[in-house]
Structures are given as C-alpha cells and as structure tokens.
C-alpha cells in the first residue's frame, strides 16, 4: 500500500505505481494514514492502463495455464487492477484471482515472483476483510519470507520492504505480528539492498519520523535528496509516472513535518 500503496523490470508494475507499495493495503484495515492519490484525471489514466494490462495478462494466463510465468504475471496484473477497485467485493474478487494464479504457478515451479505476488494480492484481500485480515497478515509474512529466501532482490528489495511495512503497520503482540525492531531491520535492509530506489528511502524516513526519531528521518531525507536527480534520469516513462506522483507528495510531506 493507495499507498496505495507496494512493478516492470522483472517485477515492476508496467502501468502504474510499483506494487511494492501494496503492503500498505493493510494500513487501511489497521487505521494507518495513507498517501494521497494522484489527481482525478491522472488517476483515471492509471486505472485504464491497469485494467488493460489485467485483461491482457488474464487472456495469456487462460491460454497458458501450465506456464508458471504467465501465472505470476497475471497475479501481478491482478494486484495492480485491484488497486482501483470501487468496492470491497470487486477488490476481493480480483485479489482471489491473483492468489489463485500464483498458486497455480507454484504447482509448476517454486518461483520467487509467485510467492511475492501472492503476498501482494493477500494485502489487497486484507482491505476487503474484517475478521479474516489478521490471518492474512501471517500468510503474507510467510510468502514474503519465502521470497526473501529465494531472491531478496525481487522488485528492488521488495521482500524486505514488504516485511518491514508489515511489521510496522500490523498490531503488536498478542493481537498480531507488529514489531518495531523487526520493522526497522527489514526497512533498513531494503534501503541497503536497493539504495537508489526512492521508495525504500521514503519508507525508512517516514517510519523514523513515526517512531519519533527526527534525526534519523532528517538523515534519510538528505539521502533521498541526494539520489533524486539520478533516480529521475533512471526511472522514466509511463511505468514510473504514478510512482513519481506519489514520491513527490511524500517527500514534500516528510520535509514539512520535519520543518525543513
């Protein structure tokens, strides 16, 4: 998580913001503040792109159900399209499709991408659940850990980022798995594994500020400012438009809250 919320270079969302933000789907359930979406006109463009990508991936998957790559690619497209669901029932239906496609992919090969997008779609499903959301947290944790064991680099350190946000936003023990120490560990790991990714630095800075560590948050903002020009040159095109909409707003908000 919109914060969407957590791509596609192997695992990048092709048409809208990176699905890496998707874990924050749980933020809605747990009452955590979310990041503002793009303006209505741009949002409509992103929604149409996501729907088109979903339809193409669905068609490919249905014609190649024994193709594990087609399975997780459809799972990825389901996550992206579920981000624009207009009600809980629609979001749940799309998320279930994505989860099923990833499970089908895993029948043929133990793919890191299939585990990753299964966790992402579980995050979408959690937004539509009430009593079942807490159970999904544990299942998401399992899938992110499986991904991290197989390929920690998926989606610019997506497994570590996902775990960090999950541990940050979930309620703590005994209700759930929320844990500040684990959250910091994995968010720092994501920033270390993919230090040129604005998302990872933003997550860490926002988390430091939430935890009352303005010194650390200011340090992360400085690191973000330093990488910003090179990131703008490297991460270009329609695939990144929504990400930049999100990142600009979040950087401005972080700067404002730090009084800088």
User: What's the average model confidence in pLDDT over 110-133?
Assistant: 91
> If you ran DSSP here, which 8-state letter would residue 39 be given?
P
Beta bridge partners of 103: none
Measure Cα distances from 200 to 97, 111, 160 in Å.
Answer: 28, 23, 10
For residue 40, give the H/E element and its range: helix 40-63
In contact, 35 and 249? CB cutoff 8 Å: yes
The pLDDT of residue 18 is: 41
pLDDT tens per residue, range 18-69: 444 444 445 444 444 333 344 668 889 999 999 999 999 999 999 999 999 9
Residue with tokens 């279930």: 96
Q: Report how far residue 106's alpha carbon sits from residue 128's, in angstroms, rounded to the nearest whole number.
A: 25
pTM of the model: 0.86
H-type alpha helices, 170-240: 180-193, 198-210, 214-234
Q: Report how far residue 195's alpha carbon sits from residue 118's, in angstroms, rounded to the nearest whole number.
A: 25
User: What's the average model confidence in pLDDT over 149-162?
Assistant: 96
In contact, 157 and 189? CB cutoff 8 Å: yes
Measure Cα distances from 196 to 148, 201, 221 in Å.
Answer: 19, 8, 13
Q: Report how far residue 151's alpha carbon sits from residue 140's, in angstroms, rounded to the nearest whole number.
A: 16
Tokens representing residue 86 in the block: 């207009």
Tokens representing residue 4 in the block: 């969407």
The pLDDT of residue 39 is: 66
Tokens representing residue 93 in the block: 């239906």
Residue 203: is its pLDDT beyond 70?
Answer: yes
Work out the mean pLDDT of the chain and round it to a whole number: 87
The pLDDT of residue 29 is: 46
Tokens representing residue 168 in the block: 């940050």
Q: What are phi and psi of 75, to 5 degrees?
A: -60, -40
Q: Report how far residue 216's alpha carbon sits from residue 200's, in angstroms, rounded to the nearest whole number.
A: 14
Q: Report how far residue 160's alpha carbon sits from residue 154's, in angstroms, rounded to the nearest whole number.
A: 9
Q: Report how far residue 210's alpha carbon sits from residue 212's, in angstroms, rounded to the nearest whole number.
A: 5
Residue 224: is its pLDDT beyond 60?
Answer: yes
Query: Which band of pLDDT confidence, cut at 50, 70 and 90, is reported for residue 135?
Result: confident
Q: Report how far residue 233's alpha carbon sits from residue 244's, in angstroms, rounded to the nearest whole number.
A: 12
Kindly state the percentage of the chain with pLDDT values over 90. 78
Residue 6: is its pLDDT beyond 50?
Answer: no
pLDDT tens per residue, range 227-260: 999 999 999 999 899 899 999 999 999 999 999 9
For residue 128, give the H/E element and its range: helix 112-128
CA angle 213, 196, 151 (to 5 degrees): 100
Residue with tokens 């359930």: 29
């Amino acid at each position: 998580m919109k914060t969407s919320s957590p791509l596609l270079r192997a695992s990048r969302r092709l048409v809208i913001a990176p699905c890496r933000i998707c874990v924050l789907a749980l933020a809605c359930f747990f009452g955590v503040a979310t990041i503002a979406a793009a303006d209505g006109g741009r949002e409509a463009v992103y929604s149409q792109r996501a729907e088109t990508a979903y339809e193409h991936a669905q068609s490919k998957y249905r014609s190649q159900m024994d193709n594990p790559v087609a399975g997780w690619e459809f799972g990825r497209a389901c996550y992206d399209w579920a981000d624009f669901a207009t009600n809980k029932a629609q979001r749940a239906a799309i998320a279930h499709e994505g989860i099923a496609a990833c499970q089908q992919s895993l029948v043929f090969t133990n793919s890191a991408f299939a585990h990753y997008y299964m966790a992402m779609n579980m995050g979408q499903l959690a937004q539509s659940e009430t009593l079942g959301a807490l159970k999904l947290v544990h299942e998401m944790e399992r899938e992110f850990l499986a991904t991290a064991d197989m390929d920690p680099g998926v989606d610019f350190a997506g497994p570590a980022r996902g775990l960090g946000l999950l541990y940050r936003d979930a309620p703590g023990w005994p209700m759930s798995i929320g844990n500040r120490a684990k959250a910091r560990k994995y968010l720092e790991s994501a920033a270390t594994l993919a230090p040129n990714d604005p998302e990872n630095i933003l997550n860490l800075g926002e988390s430091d500020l939430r935890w009352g560590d303005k010194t650390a948050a200011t340090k992360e903002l400085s690191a973000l400012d330093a990488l910003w020009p090179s990131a703008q040159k490297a991460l270009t095109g329609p695939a990144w438009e929504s990400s930049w909409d999100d990142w600009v707003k979040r950087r401005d908000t972080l700067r404002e809250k730090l009084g800088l």
